[in-house]
Structure 1
Amino acid sequence: MTLIVRSESPTTDRSTVWVEGRLDAATFGEFDDALRDITPLVDNGGTLIIDLSALDYISSAGLRSLAQLRRQMQDRAGRTLLLNPQPQVKKVFEIVKAVPVAEVFASVAELDQYLDHMQRQITG
């Protein structure tokens, strides 16, 4: 499955981005490119809302992209809010927050294999 990123900027102090599909090693570049065009449209101190209701899967590459996006917005005194994650994506956020990932997994491939397994358990 591919990645679809669409946005709406009702005002310059807030923009919403909808992410659909998979955010992984094959698609994170598309996500980064799309957000590189969108984030400058939000004023310093503004809010970027990422709607994850149609995101089916996220890997460590996707997590890195979201972390970089948060840092970029923070550097501009802004905020990034994640909205409506599906249960399997929410589980990944819980895993990463609960356990310092670098201390547990020997490689990115091992981490992605674990995240893939956890998400498949939830989606059946």
Structure 2
Amino acid sequence: MNLDTQLHEDKDKSLLRVSMIGGLNTDTAPGFEATLATAIADGWQMVLLDMKALDYVSSAGLRVIFKAAKQLKSAGRSLAVANRQPQIEKVFEILQALPDMAVFSNDAELDEYLDAMQAKVRDLGSH
């Protein structure tokens, strides 16, 4: 699974749109983290993750997103997401519904659960 990113700068609005194409998982998360680190260092007021073409996200990808959101917030800036596909939306819904305690014993168990939920949503959408 690959992740391609396309950067679109709007200097008038201090907005960097990061279009995500493919999957954000253990293999692609380090490169995506580097992309976001550069965006944070460049001082954009808002970094917008456009997930229109994002097919999949794992716990490793979520960690990168939440880390960037925390860094931007502490600098008085923000991270936003747009155009989430149904399976990605489901992952965000699940995370919002989870209590503050650990529910999964390890990342592999969490990823297995997220895989199943995303597959289920994709299957429902194809019928």
Report how far residue 101 of structure 1 moved. Answer: 6.9
CA distance 1:88–1:101, change in 2 (3 Å): farther
2:7 aligns to what SS in structure 1?
strand
User: How high is the TM-score relative to the length of structure 2?
Assistant: 0.90
Report how far residue 102 of structure 1 moved. Answer: 4.8
What does residue range 1-124 of structure 1 map to in structure 2 within 5 Å? 1-11=1-11, 13-43=14-44, 46-100=45-99, 102-124=101-123
The 2-side partners of 1:16 and 1:24 are apart by: 20
Report how far residue 36 of structure 1 moved. Answer: 1.8
Report how far residue 23 of structure 1 moved. Answer: 0.4
The 2-side partners of 1:9 and 1:29 are apart by: 22
Worse-superposed segment, 102-111 or 62-71: 102-111
Residue ranges of structure 2 left out of the alignment (5+ in a row): none
User: How high is the TM-score relative to the length of structure 1?
Assistant: 0.92
The 2-side partners of 1:51 and 1:37 are apart by: 17
* 1:47/1:80 contact within 8 Å kept: yes
The 1-side partners of 2:113 and 2:51 are apart by: 21
1:9 aligns to what SS in structure 2?
strand
Q: What is the number of equivalent residue pairs in this alignment?
A: 122
Instruction: State the one-letter code of the partner of 1:20.
Output: I
1:77 aligns to what SS in structure 2?
coil
1:103 aligns to what SS in structure 2?
coil
The 2-side partners of 1:23 and 1:101 are apart by: 24
The 2-side partners of 1:54 and 1:83 are apart by: 11
